[in-house]
């Protein structure tokens, strides 16, 4: 073998090793970043779970007290109306005029309609907070170690409620739920999958668009479809979508692990997850989960 050929081969192998080392370093940096991120997420999850627990009781008191206050106000206005009726029969014109003046000064007719309306809206606000607390509690259980019968439609609802707090101004989510049995699963992890897919679907929609969430039950398994009207993807992207560290997002805007982790979670449950998509025509994720968890 000629000396120059040996040198060329050696240089080629050195270049390959350098490229391989560079790739390994990048992956190590990504893993370290992910580990650091996961540590912060766990800490944040514990903090959120604690805060949510502390918020739940006072919010329940507020909601209950507002409901009672609305009932009391209605009775007070009924009593005042009765007093007004009897007063008009027995009072002099001067006394009735004084009563009318007081009613006008305090804007009585306006308050009579406005106060119940304010209480009703406050109750709705408190109920929304209770729903949000319930949804966040569900996601704080992502590391729960117990498989239990779970409501998949309810978990999807929670994911939709949370995701819509960010995208409600430009994305409409339509839910078409079938009647499902309870599914044995790690519900926190399954909810994480729903959040990952819904988040990706919203991000794939440029401007405004729609997402349809559909569930059905057949052959001892539930099927969940999440369809968006977003930008879609090429066949090459679709094939690599569940590969670790694969992402089409800019550097610093995603680890490329969300869908890879989602894929592993579904496989852990004995299920399947697939994606159909065409560039410019939107994307459909299909998840199939057996209703029994095989331990």
- pLDDT tens column, 262-284: 888 899 999 999 999 988 889 99
pLDDT band at 9 (very low <50, low <70, confident <90, very high): low
Per-residue model confidence as pLDDT tens digits over 92-144: 778 778 878 888 888 888 888 888 888 888 888 888 777 777 766 666 555 55
Report the residue count for the chain: 295
Lowest mean pLDDT among 19-23, 156-160, 165-169, 265-269: 19-23
pLDDT of 212 over the 90 cut:
yes
pLDDT band at 241 (very low <50, low <70, confident <90, very high): confident
pLDDT of 34 over the 60 cut:
no
253 three-class SS = coil
What are the Cα distances from residue 162, in Å, to 42, 70, 144, 203, 273? Answer: 19, 29, 20, 15, 22
Residue 272 has what pLDDT?
94
In degrees and rounded to multiples of 5, residue 228 shows phi and psi of: -120, 160
pLDDT of 254 over the 50 cut:
no
How much is the average pLDDT of 38-53?
Answer: 56
Alpha helices in the chain (DSSP H): 3-90, 93-105, 108-139, 152-167, 187-204, 235-240, 258-268
Residue pair 152/215 in contact (Cβ under 8 Å)? The answer is yes
């Amino acid at each position: 073998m000629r000396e120059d050929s040996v040198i060329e081969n050696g240089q080629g192998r050195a270049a390959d090793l350098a490229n391989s080392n560079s790739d390994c370093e990048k992956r190590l940096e990504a893993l370290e970043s992910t580990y650091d991120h996961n540590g912060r997420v766990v800490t944040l999850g514990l903090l959120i779970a604690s805060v949510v627990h502390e918020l739940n009781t006072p919010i329940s008191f507020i909601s209950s007290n507002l409901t009672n206050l609305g009932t009391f106000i209605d009775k007070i206005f009924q009593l005042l109306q009765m007093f007004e009726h009897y007063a008009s029969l027995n009072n002099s014109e001067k006394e009735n005029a004084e009563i009318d003046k007081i009613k006008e000064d305090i804007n009585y007719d306006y308050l009579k309609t406005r106060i119940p309306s304010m209480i009703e809206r406050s109750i709705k606000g408190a109920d929304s907070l209770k729903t949000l607390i319930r949804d966040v509690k569900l996601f704080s259980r992502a590391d729960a170690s117990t498989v239990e019968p779970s409501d998949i439609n309810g978990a999807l609802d929670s994911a939709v409620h949370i995701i819509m707090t960010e995208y409600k101004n430009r994305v409409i989510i339509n839910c078409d739920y079938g009647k499902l049995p309870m599914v044995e699963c790690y519900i926190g992890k399954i909810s994480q999958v729903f959040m990952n897919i819904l988040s990706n679907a919203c991000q794939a929609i440029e401007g405004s668009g729609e997402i349809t969430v559909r569930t059905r039950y057949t052959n001892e398994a539930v099927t969940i479809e999440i369809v968006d009207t977003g930008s879609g993807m090429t066949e090459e992207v679709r094939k690599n979508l569940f590969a670790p560290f694969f992402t089409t997002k800019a550097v610093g805007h995603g680890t490329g692990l969300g869908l890879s982790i989602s894929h592993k979670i579904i496989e852990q449950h004995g299920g399947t997850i697939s994606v159909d998509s065409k560039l410019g025509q939107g994307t459909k994720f299909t998840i199939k989960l057996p209703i029994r968890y095989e331990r």
